[in-house]
A and B are shown apart, each in its own frame.
Chain A
Amino acid sequence: MVNKLVTDTAAMLEEKTGSRNAVVHSTAYPEQATGSPFVKNPKMSMRNVDVFYGEKQAIFNVNVDIGQNEVIAMIGPSGCGKSTFLRSINRMNDTVDSCRVTGDLTLDGEDIYSAKMDPVALRARVGMVFQKPNPFPKSIYDNVSYGPRLHGLASRRAELDDIVEMSLHRAGLWEEVKDRLDQPGTGLSGGQQQRLCIARAIAISPEVILMDEPCSALDPIATAKIEELIAELSENYTIAIVTHSMQQAARVSHRTAYFHLGHLVEVNDTEKVFTAPEHELTEAYITGRFG
């Protein structure tokens, strides 16, 4: 088994780098992620997580914790399963018929996949921001107030107004849109739309916010704004962000998890991952030998 993995990875490295001389030390996947995947008093903890799409296994035995108020970045080459893993955390994968998740995933010690856990209630606690900005084709106000209205978080219109204003403030969008709350959210620029989606996510005061490559469709200026925003939000929220960009992971996250072909290879403090990675695969990836 291990031998097969070694040969597979070597072949892949050769294909990616185009070089027969690519330095490959020990490329076996560790039984346990290298580094420090576990924290004290985790907000969420994942143990022995396997994810399958039909017959195909996409995630292999992932064990990791997400700490309170931390920003954890998930990086890795395309198709490594980081998005799949993220979507398992708030059961977005339930909507995919063929998808099956096994293992223990908990939020504040409650089993996410137990029969008692209502996925709707879970998603109110674990919000999500998607890769492509996806505002509803409704007004800016309705976009933000939709969640609170659904969950009955405001009893009066004034309260709802407050929630909308506060959420837009936190998302750094208030100044830009305060005079046109009744305009369609789809009429904003890409970066503004994504911040609107963030405002929509935080309007229901989730405990955890999952971000699935939130900046991949944005220009650098909009990206910078979102990154600032993530730093501010981490004071109040726990954030897990999947990103393509290693620089972004380095800029915004406290800890970084490196995924490789469905395996969690290394989790460490971000600084450590980018300066002194413990695992050869991590090193190969961050030094740009593939990915």
Chain B
Amino acid sequence: MTESKQSHAAIIQRSLARRYRAEKRFRAYGLMAITFGLLCVAVLFTDIISKGYRAFLQTSIQLEIVYDADVLGISDLNNKQQVALADFQGLVKKSLQARFPDVTGRKEKRDLVSLVSSGAGYDLRDRLLANPQLLGNKETLWLSADDDIDTYYKSMGDKDGAFTGRTSDLRQGWIETLKQGGDIKLGLNKVFFTHGDSREPEQAGIWGAAMGSLFTLAVTITLSFPIGVAAAVYLEEFAPRNRWTDLIEVNINNLAAVPSIIFGLLGLAIFINFFHVPRSVPLVGGLVLTLMTLPTIIISGRAAIKAVPPSIREAAIGVGASPMQVVLHHVLPLAMPGMLTGAIIGMAQALGETAPLLMIGMVAFIVDIPAGFTDPATVLPVQIFLWADSPERAFVEKTSAAIMVLLAFLIMMNTLAVVLRKRLERRW
């Protein structure tokens, strides 16, 4: 008896060692998986940030501008036609020529003027309209450099040498002169955060796309959350279990797996062609994304409702709550954290969605910042797609910067989801 007991103990001891080894291996696999995941994220982030952080900076050139009424051709600032036709870029030209009086040739002069962004004239116009007393006077201003100059200036300190592909030796010389005079600097790129898209990289901003995304998501959440919650509650709490509800359930699960571009085609066919909703607007984008996120919200909503303990339902029924009161007073409040998490994850998906929006014209080149649900707009991921497609070298860093902005929004939304869940769950 004792002998067999001892041998049992020995066997168990041996097998224990084996079991612990297996457990160690198992843990190591998990750790490896997580490390791999983190590594991928780290590589992604370093790559994007190292490529994109320069987009948040902008080279500008200091010039002395003379608001010469003759050059502008303006006699009366209140005359809109005069202002519209005025040659503000001419002021820049004059100023640069004054700074570099030696430049003579026609081509050289053109090169010289293109040191400064071709949008600088608009800035000057806005300044003058805001401060009419400037007419005839002069002031010293920092003006955005052209994107080629910007790219060259930013890359000057690089290990593998500055990018001179689009900057001639002549221009490099001028930049050197400006640098020595302290008339060229890198500053925060406000334009990037306040402007819409542009053909000129130095004037292109993310704000238009961000507002487009905001309006689109506003439409999506106001439609998909109530509809999704209502559908989930009905299916889970009130619908009879029969062949029809089974069919509906299968279809909802199928819809969740349908490629998003199909939803875009559906939106094009139904919302635009049949209901004549205007193209390229956040309203139609939101409608399409609503279709796309509904299955996610319904499925997560149903799971959240299922997770409400039946004992709570029984307790409410037991004191005489009607089915609707059971749902409103007990099931919904308890299921809300899960539903919100599902909704926010659905929204994050919608925020990053590109394909269906290409189908409904939100890929258009739109300079103006949308101010409402029916203004033509584009959204962040589409903006990334557009910039990635642009040939100018300066758009490379803009693309990375736009990705950073999108990621920042995603991180914010996911944090919000976690915080909301914690806050609602912590009630008791």
Contacts and interface: CB of A to CB of B under 8 A. Distances in A.
Interface of A: 90, 92, 95, 97, 120-121, 123-124, 127-130, 132, 134-138, 146-147, 150-151, 184, 186-187, 197, 200-201, 203-204
19 contacts: A90-B318, A92-B317, A95-B314, A120-B322, A123-B317, A123-B318, A124-B320, A128-B314, A128-B318, A129-B318, A134-B314, A134-B315, A135-B315, A136-B312, A138-B428, A184-B428, A197-B315, A200-B315, A200-B319
A136 B321 contact: no
A134 B312 contact: yes
B334 to A, nearest CB: 7
A97 B314 contact: no
B227 interface: no
A109 B285 CA distance: 62
A92 B320 contact: no
B312 A123 contact: no
A132 B317 contact: no
Among all A-B residue pairs, the 3 with the closest Cβ atoms: A124-B320, A134-B311, A147-B319
A151 B320 contact: yes
B317 A95 contact: yes
Contact of A132 (B311, B316, B325, B334): B311
A220 B40 CA distance: 57
Given A136-B330, A147-B320, A204-B320, A130 B428 contact: no
Contact of A136 (B240, B315, B320): B315
B236 to A, nearest CB: 13
Given A95-B317, A130-B314, A186 B428 contact: yes
B320 A120 contact: yes
Mostly, the B contact residues are helix
A151 B322 CA distance: 10
A146 B319 CA distance: 8
Given A97-B240, A120-B321, A150-B320, A137 B427 contact: yes
A75 to B, nearest CB: 22
B243 interface: no
B319 A130 contact: no
Contacts of B5: none
Contacts of B240: 97
A127 B314 CA distance: 11
Given A134-B311, A201-B318, 8 more contacts: A92-B317, A127-B319, A132-B311, A137-B334, A146-B329, A150-B325, A197-B315, A200-B319
A131 B321 CA distance: 19
B241 interface: yes
Interface in B291-321: 309, 311-321
Nearest to B334: A137
A95 B240 CA distance: 11
A134 B318 CA distance: 11
A137 B428 contact: yes
B312 A127 contact: no
Given A137-B428, A186-B428, A130 B320 contact: no
Contacts of B312: 134, 136-137
Given A97-B240, A137-B334, A92 B319 contact: no
A59 B104 CA distance: 108
Nearest to A132: B311
A92 B318 contact: yes
B281 to A, nearest CB: 44
B319 A204 contact: yes
A97 B241 contact: yes
Contacts of A121: 320
Interface in B27-77: none
A90 B317 CA distance: 10
Contacts of B319: 123-124, 127, 146-147, 150, 200-201, 203-204
A231 B330 CA distance: 32
A90 B318 CA distance: 8
B342 to A, nearest CB: 20
B226 to A, nearest CB: 24
Contacts of B318: 90, 92, 123, 127-130, 201
